[in-house]
Amino acid sequence: MKNRAIQIGLFFLLLSGGCLSAQTESESVTIPLSNPGKDGKLKMGLLYGSITVEAHQGKEVIIETKSKEKSKPSKTKDGMRRIGDTSLEFSVEEYDNKVTVRSKKQNKRVDFTIKVPENFSLDLRATNNGNINVEGVKGEMEISNLNGAITLKNIGGSVIADALNKDIIVTFTKGYEKSPMAFTSLNGDLDITFPNNLAANIKAKTDQGEIYTDYEMKMTRDVSKDEKKSSSGVYKVTVDKWVTGTINGGGAEILFKTMNGDIMIRSN
């Protein structure tokens, strides 16, 4: 059957006469794919915690979770003592090689490590108290992290990545496709490494940092002017400066933008 929905829940009870001890709970599940060996996609959004995705040689998706319960005094209510927690409750749905993971616990940190076949696309989003790490995956990626860093190692395919408050570090290997890409951050550095034979049009801007590259880049400068006149007669001109250039004759556009950080465009 191509349509599979798998609901995973872990409930554990801790009975203590005084306090709940600090301990790490974990769970691992294996998700079979409808079409093993063919391209797939992983989609996940996480409110609290880190997401790590690793390529493996298997033809299934393996999901591992960890949640650490901190030591705290035992809570009571109407003479009853709190005895349990459901931090690792999550759900997984697989349909036609598309795997969607949802964490049902919205107020506690749960870290996910997910192993996927190499030829997988990724749509990953994290919000608080965690980073996003990907290694060895060759597919299209949309990665967003509000308060954590993004690190993508030995990847291929196209990438759109944004991190509001942390760095974005990416290393491409073989499998890079000539598709438009974008890397953006508000308060972090962009450190992106491409293969030596990269052919692309580069568009980059940083307000409070510097732009560096070790490629032989033919540089140009793109200045965009926005001219407006208000009803009160005030005339306003806004000049938006970008550094632009071509590498190895040019190709698809790759955009880099950060406000408070440096931009490093490296060759591998």
pLDDT in tens, 74-84: 555 555 654 44
Tell me if 223 sits within 8 A of 204, measured CB to CB: no
**Mean pLDDT, all residues of the chain:** 83
Residue 54 half-sphere exposure toward CB, CA atoms < 13 A: 11
Higher pLDDT, 235 or 249: 249
Q: What pLDDT sits at residue 98?
A: 97
What are the beta bridge partners of residue 217?
Answer: 247
Confidence of residue 223 (pLDDT cuts 50, 70, 90): low
Cβ-based neighbours of 17, under 8 Å, separated by 6 or more: none
3-state secondary structure of 123: strand
Using pLDDT thresholds of 50, 70 and 90, give the confidence band for residue 32. Answer: very high
What are the tokens at 259?
């406000």
The larger pLDDT score, comparing residue 56 to residue 69, is at 56
Residue 46: the pLDDT is 94
Q: Are strands 200-206 and 98-103 parallel, antiparallel or unpaired?
A: unpaired
The continuous run of DSSP H or E covering 99 comes out as: strand 98-103
Adjacent-strand bridge partners of 239? 225
In this structure, the number of other CB atoms found within 10 A of the CB of residue 77 comes to 7
Q: Is the pTM of this model over 0.85?
A: no
CB-side neighbour CA atoms (13 Å) of 99? 30
**What does the pLDDT look like over 62-106, one tens digit per residue?**
999 987 655 455 555 555 654 444 556 889 999 999 999 998 766
Give the model's pLDDT for residue 265.
Answer: 97
Residues present in the chain in total: 268
Whether 230 shows a pLDDT value over 80: the answer reads no
pLDDT band at 162 (very low <50, low <70, confident <90, very high): very high
Lowest mean pLDDT among 27-41, 167-181, 216-230, 254-268: 216-230
* Tokens, residue 261: 């950080």
Q: What is the pLDDT of residue 252?
A: 92
Of 179, 173, 225, which is closest to residue 197 (Cα–Cα)?
173
